[in-house]
Amino acid sequence: MSAPLLSHAPAAADPSATGPSATGPGAAELLDFARRTAADSALIDSLPLDPEGRTWVRLDGPGGSEAWLIGWPPGTGTGWHDHAESRGAFATARGSLTEHSLSVRLPSEGWKSLHLASGLDRTRTLGAGTGRAFGEHHVHEVLNASPAEHAVSVHAYYPPLPLIRRYSRSGAVLTLEQVERPADWQ
């Protein structure tokens, strides 16, 4: 039995998610970095692309942030996940990425399964040169829906990712499946 989602309203704006912060770069600065880096064609061209699996290279982000250059073969994606207490941004350098997200901030702890209210789903497509920023506990999945074209993107997070929570989704039910720590992906 899943617990009901108690809040159906969009999350309140988090000032640290959009502006500069005394504790590191805000999401707007992370987005600016991601966009500028995505425009660096020499860097983008240096990423080795695998026809079957995502590839990535760690980058130095602004103000101690964690950043990644990621290659996405056709049809690949992240699955539903969040970045815990990190705010972040990503920009598409090549190809197109689709982001499915929830327009509500979920509780960060104390649940295994939630029944989502209707109207919370958002979808956006980010073509080359476009990006988006997000605050803490942002739940989304990102995928390259193209049947033939690789996509490349730049991602930045602050603070550096303490963990990633992975979810499965069946209709309106979102279930926490796994918690990954930095040692799992570095």
CATH code assigned at 76: 2.60.120.10
Does residue 34 form part of some domain?
yes
Tell me, yes or no, whether 17 lies in a domain. Answer: yes
Residue 64 inside a domain? The answer is yes
Q: What is the mean pLDDT of residues 82-91?
A: 95
Between 172 and 183, the more confident residue is: 172
Residue the block writes with tokens 């979808």: 123
> What's the rounded Cα separation, in Å, for the pair 109 and 120?
19
Average pLDDT over residues 74-100: 96
Mean pLDDT, the chain, whole residue set: 88
End-to-end, the C-alpha distance of the chain in Å comes to: 35
In a domain, 27, yes or no: yes
User: Does pTM surpass 0.75?
Assistant: yes
Residue 3 placed within a domain: no
**For residue 22, what pLDDT is reported?**
54
Task: Let me know if residue 38 belongs to a domain.
Answer: yes
Q: Is 2 part of any domain?
A: no
Tell me the two tokens of residue 180.
């990954």
Region 143-163 average pLDDT: 96
Taking 50 as the threshold, does the pLDDT of residue 86 lie above it? Answer: yes
3-state secondary structure of 70: strand
- Taking residues 44-64, what's their average pLDDT? 95
Q: Where are the beta strands (DSSP E) in the chain?
A: 3-4, 55-60, 66-72, 81-82, 87-94, 96-102, 113-115, 121-127, 131-134, 140-143, 151-158, 164-170, 173-180
Q: Give me the number of domains the chain comprises.
A: 1
Q: Look at residue 5 and tell me if it is in a domain.
A: no
Show the domain range for 110.
13-184
